[in-house]
Amino acid sequence: MKLRQRMAVTFAAATSLTVAVAFLVTLTIFKHAQERQLDHALLLGAAHQADIVHRTGHPALHLEVAAVADSDDAAVSQAARDLDYLVQYSALYRLDGSLQEFTTNFGGPPPGLANLGWHPGVPLPKHSFDFPLQGHIMRGVLVRINPGPATDAHLLLLAAPRGDVDADTSHLMQVMAMVFLCALGASLLLGWQLGRHMTRGIEGIAQVARRVSEGQLSSRVRLDAVTPDEEVRTLGQDLNQMIDRLASLIAAGQRFVSHAAHELRSPLAALRGELELALRHPRDEAGYKTAIHEALADTNRLIALAEDLLVLARQEMTGHPGDPASVSLRNVVQEAVRASLARTNAAVDAAVTVDVQIAELALAGRAADLARMVRNLLDNAIAHAPHGTHVRVLGTREERPDGVYACLTVEDQGPGVPASLRERIFEPFFRGDEEREHSGAGLGLSIAREIARAHGGELRLDASAGLTRFVALIPLSSAAR
């Protein structure tokens, strides 16, 4: 069953149940009110008859309506007016149950006291009661009257047909049934329209989701065509943002694969050529060693490139540093300096000096990833620093409105980065035209930035001091804060 159909049925069921309960309560109250009004009129009428018998001292029926209506008692007069619209039935019984007198409209002897539920020695019923008479249901009261000291007590039955009460109740029930059917139809129509209004925007969003699943990443939810409901519009906006993110990830993945294939092709081709050349031309032991060393260098280059690709892919996919721990910034930098200097050649070591000034700060993260970030920044700085200059590594505590960070600065006195390339240098595989011959695969800065972001920080290029300065902000651990 579709959503709009379920909404229509649910709305109609809830409305119908509410209306039915309200009608049932109203009908019950109305019926009881009618019965109470009739019972009250009968009791007052019977009390009036008993009062007349008591005053006259003669046990006889006195049903002169005019006399009742002209009574000084307002309640008795109102009761007479209520009974005036009904045919009154009255009977007078002796205490032994024998009948003394009755009105002719009974069409014969009225029911005996036993048929009315009373027996000698049993208290009289305190409330009105129903009894059948010639196929009709009568409502009656039974009261005790005392004509006088010289006359025995009698029992007075005053009754009236309850057909009018039942007719009014039946008429009200019919009216309520008609109203209920109208309310049911209106609620079904309203629920259908409401479901259609709500699902119109959802169906449009579902169509866009199906097109995206088929590969049409250019599809977007038209927010102007979606229903004005805030929740549905928010859902459409979130879906559009998700599609944008998905499209950017797929595009980045395609570029990543393309660049990775391009970067891997060159060393693989060189390695294959060197091995084929070594097999094609016989040479002495020294020649084979030279060929093996060249192949080993290409192999190491491939291994380094593969490691960088794996690190970058892991950082982009996970986006978090795994299980964070408290890491010493000084130990991280010392490990990175050692590893970076070990990878550079002796000439560069002698020409470039690394100055380290690190405060004792504790970071929250993985030591291996943070050390790789610092090592990549150092490798980049050492590779671009002029001979005889210094590469400075500074680590300080910095408080910002959004938290407390460790500010790690790596700067060199190199030529700097042109303004047009200051953002592109963080793109994977990007290298300037002058560095394609001697630089790596262009993944170092990309990996460093991803590691910083994965730790809740940021890596940026600061060109305000005229130096090549990279600044990394990494949040401190909770204990250090």
- Write the pLDDT tens digit of every residue in 128-154: 888 888 888 888 998 888 766 656 788
- With 0.75 as the threshold, say if the pTM is over it: no
How far, in Å, CA of 87 to CA of 108, rounded?
A: 16
Tell whether the model's pLDDT for residue 86 goes beyond 80.
no
Looking at 3.40.630.10, 3.40.570.10, 1.10.8.60, 3.30.565.10, the CATH number of the domain 322-475 comes to 3.30.565.10
Tell whether the model's pLDDT for residue 312 goes beyond 70.
no
Query: What confidence score (pLDDT) does residue 78 get?
Result: 52
Check residues 48 and 432 and name the one with the higher pLDDT.
48
Among residues of the chain, what percentage have pLDDT more than 70? 79
* Tokens 């960088």, residue located: 308
Give the least confident one: 276-285, 330-339, 374-383. 276-285
Tell whether the model's pLDDT for residue 190 goes beyond 80.
yes
Query: What confidence score (pLDDT) does residue 444 get?
Result: 78
Q: Tell me what the mean pLDDT of segment 283-312 comes to.
A: 76
pLDDT band at 450 (very low <50, low <70, confident <90, very high): confident
Tell whether the model's pLDDT for residue 205 goes beyond 60.
yes
Neighbours of 76 (CB within 10 A): 19
Query: How many Cα neighbours within 13 Å face the side chain of 275?
Result: 11
String of DSSP letters for 70-134: T-S-HHHHHHHHHHHTS--EEEEEETTS-EEEE-GGGSSPPPPTTTTT--TTSPPPSS-EEEEET
Neighbours of 290 (CB within 10 A): 14
How far, in Å, CA of 365 to CA of 408, rounded?
A: 15
* Tokens 């550079």, residue located: 344
pLDDT in tens, 16-30: 888 889 999 999 999
Per-domain residue ranges of the chain? 3-170, 220-318, 322-475
Quote the tokens at residue 250.
Answer: 């797929």
Report CA-CA distances (Å) from 4 to 105, 118, 267, 320.
63, 62, 61, 42
Looking at 3.30.420.40, 1.10.287.130, 3.30.365.10, 3.40.30.10, the CATH number of the domain 220-318 comes to 1.10.287.130
Give the least confident one: 93-102, 197-206, 276-285, 329-338. 197-206
H or E element in which residue 314 lies = helix 285-318
Tell whether the model's pLDDT for residue 121 goes beyond 80.
no
